[in-house]
Amino acid sequence: MLAAAMFAASAMNAQSSFSVRFGGLMVLGDLAESQTITSFMDNTRAGNAAAYGAFLGFQFTQGIGDGGLGVFVSADALWTPSNQEIRKMYDEHSWTKPQFINIPVLAGVHYHMPAVTVSPYFEVGAGVNFFMKTPEGVSGNLREYDMTESFAVMGGLGVMFNDVFSIGVHYLLPGIDGVKISTKDVDADYDVKTSMLALRLGFHF
């Protein structure tokens, strides 16, 4: 009975929050590698050269007790265009340029010191990442790709101000993204090892 009462009191003291975050990101790994090519038809990895991007996401955090520890679920949409070298080459040939979309859906643990003006925060989570490369190539004869899924992990740290605004650096490892070509008569699927470093600004409600 006493334990149940203590748990109930802890739950009453726990706070939940909803946050909206956005920011910029730097692409690392295979997806960041530039490659010298003359035609996307000659090398299926032609467009695998992204440098920077942006993202928008949402997170719900449920506090555990009143000590600052909580659990969260989150979803983000990460957009990374091809880098300048690839865009220039595709523009010279009037090709449609590929872009890359990652949608990580994660659950994990969050910690910060509540009810203080400035507090460090830490997060770690894991879940699934949905990846898609947008169509590329000659107008009227585009090469299209299917969405694929992979296991993803994330870790980050930063600073929270008055439990309302936060800024932090996060590292996302989406795992191995599979580039799967929709055209059934083209056997050129391959894997891309990707990671991203993000600067994240968040507003908490």
Q: What is the CATH number of the domain that holds 152?
A: 2.40.160.20
C-alpha 138/C-alpha 154 separation (Å) is 37
Of 83, 186, 89, 94, which Cα lies nearest the Cα of 143?
186
Is 8 inside any structural domain? no
Please list the pLDDT of the chain residue by residue as tens digits (205 residues). Answer: 444 444 444 444 468 999 999 999 998 877 776 554 444 545 444 445 788 999 999 999 999 988 899 999 999 999 999 888 888 888 888 888 888 899 999 999 999 988 899 999 999 999 999 988 888 888 887 888 888 899 999 999 999 999 999 999 999 998 766 676 666 555 556 677 788 999 999 999 9
- Whether residue 127 is contained in a domain is answered as yes
Structure pTM?
A: 0.83
Indicate the number of domains in the chain: 1
The answer to whether residue 105 sits within a structural domain is yes
Which amino acid is present at 69? L
* Residue-number span of the structural domain to which 31 is assigned: 18-204
**Distance between CA atoms of residues 4 and 24, nearest Å:** 45
In the beta sheet, which residues pair with residue 133?
100
Q: Is residue 13 part of a domain?
A: no
Q: Is residue 66 part of a domain?
A: yes
Residues 48, 29 contacting (CB under 8 angstroms): no
